[in-house]
Amino acid sequence: MSPKHLSRDTKRFLWIGILPSALLYALFVIWPAINALMYSFTRWDGLSTPVWIGIDNFVNLFKSGSDFVTAIGHNIYLTVVPGSIILTLALFFAWMIHLKVAGSTLFRVTFFFPNVIASVAVALLWVLLYSTTEMGPINNIRQALHMEKVPFLESARLLQSIVPMMVWSATGFYLVLFLAAMENIPVDYYEAAHLDGASPTLQFIRITLPLMWDVLTTGIIFLIVGGLKFFDAVWVMENGRPSPATHTMSSLMYAKVFEEYNVGYGTAIAVLLFVLVLIITRISMRLLKRERLEY
């Protein structure tokens, strides 16, 4: 079916088929994205006429000591620390389940379960767990062990307190991802390695990891993107009023636009966030790239 052979009917069919999605897509994705770029070069309160100010917004974002620079630091923290723990634990548990245990389906389902809960609900659950009232389980356990109560949710501690929450809720997802990749590897390789006298550890490093490298890369990129866009828990745990000490890029953007009516500044953050995510994913993909192995 080369272009020449399209009849008029076919052409009409194509128009009807593609136009609705293309239109919706242009209206609700492309157009707002273009608008975002435009807003980011203006000073605008969302009401009056926007004033074109060139790259001033971006210059202000990177002034030393600006909230945005601090927020980037928080995002990096929330990417690297929970990310590495999640990755390690998920690989470790996936490998353990892969080595055959009784009740592996039970483990899979329960580990995955936190992913079914909305992220806001997860954050609220952890607010309860961290509570300093007599109801808060974690502080209760601490008291039973004769330790001081800790205000886990105060601004200075919040980012550290979010780490266990992220590990708790995300590990299951990556575990399921990695386990599926592990189970796709043909058994023959392990049998051959076993005959050659390779230890399980060696098998893991020389067979499992290289053959699931693609999936591992995907997992790492998910974690990076998720960390850079992090929003919900900070917002919920700070009751919708994060301070500069806890803001992430997303929450800062949101606060700038919807609380300070600084639309130009806020969209500048959004544009930078987009560019940052794009660049960092690109770089990490390049770094993680290996010769593709197939079985």
Partner 1 sequence: MRGSLLEKLGTLVRTGVLGLWMLGVVLPMFWVLATSLKSTKEVTRSPFGIPDALAHPGAKTFAVIAENYSKAWVGSGFSAYFWNSLKVVSISLALILLLGSMAAYCLSRFEFRGRNAIYNAFVAGLLIPMQLILIPLFFQYADWSDVLTRGFAPIARVHGIAPQFARRHHPDLCCGKFTVYDFHVDIVLWDTAWRGSRSGDDRWRERSEDILQCDAAARKARAHHGGHFQLPRALE
Q: Which of residues 215-244 bind partner 1 (CB under 8 A)?
A: 229, 231
Only segment of 45-53, 67-75, 146-154, 212-220 that touches partner 1 (CB under 8 A) = 45-53
Q: How far is the CB of 3 from partner 1 (least distance, A)?
A: 5
Using the rule CB under 8 A, is 83 a contact of partner 1?
no
- Within 8 A by CB and 6+ apart from 104, the residues are 97
Is the CB of 55 or the CB of 109 nearer to partner 1?
109
Part in contact with partner 1 (CB under 8 A); list of ranges 40-48, 53-61, 185-193, 204-212: 40-48
Distance between first and last Cα of the chain: 35
The region of 31-39, 60-68, 76-84, 155-163 touching partner 1 under the rule CB under 8 A is: 31-39
**Least distance in angstroms from the C-beta of 39 to partner 1:** 7
Least gap, CB of 273 to partner 1 (angstroms): 6
Of 65 and 118, CB closest to partner 1: 118
Nearer to partner 1, 83 or 265 (CB): 265
1: β partners? none
CB 236 within 8 A of CB 123: yes
Tell me whether residue 126 or residue 212 sits nearer to partner 1 (CB atom). Answer: 126
Site for partner 1 in 118-177 (CB under 8 A): 125, 128-129, 134-135, 137, 140, 168, 171-172
In the bound state with partner 1, the residue whose beta carbon lies nearer, of 30 and 55, is 30
**Binders in 7-26 for partner 1, by CB under 8 A:** 10-11, 13-14, 16-18, 20-22, 24-25
If binding is defined by CB under 8 A, does position 31 make contact with partner 1?
A: yes
CB 260 within 8 A of CB 242: no
d(CA 117, CA 165): 13
In the block, which residue shows the tokens 């272009």? 3
Q: Where in 176-215 is the site for partner 1 (CB under 8 A)?
A: none
The token pair at 209 is 């990891």
Q: Are 264 and 50 in contact (CB under 8 A)?
A: yes
CB of 67 to partner 1, least distance (A): 16
> Which among 20, 3, 66, 47 is positioned nearest to 268, based on CA atoms?
66
Question: By CB under 8 A, how many residues form the interface with partner 1?
Answer: 71
Contact positions with partner 1 (CB under 8 A) in 92-121: 93, 96-97, 99-103, 106-107, 110-111, 113-114
79-101 burial string, b = 16+ CB within 10 Å, else e? bebbbebbbebbbebbbebbeee
Using an 8 Å Cβ cutoff, are 138 and 151 in contact? Answer: no
**Least Cβ distance, residue 151 to partner 1 (angstroms):** 18
42: which strand partners? 52
Read off φ and ψ for residue 43, nearest 5 degrees: -105, 120
Q: Of the candidates 31, 56, 28, which has an alpha carbon nearest to the alpha carbon of residue 41?
A: 56
Closest CA to 182 of 248, 115, 268, 99: 99
With contacts defined by CB under 8 A, name the span among 51-59, 74-82, 146-154, 250-258 that binds partner 1: 250-258
- Residue 47 near partner 1 by CB under 8 A: yes
CB-nearer residue toward partner 1: 36 or 245: 36
Summarize the chain as % helix, strand, coil (round to 5): 75, 0, 25
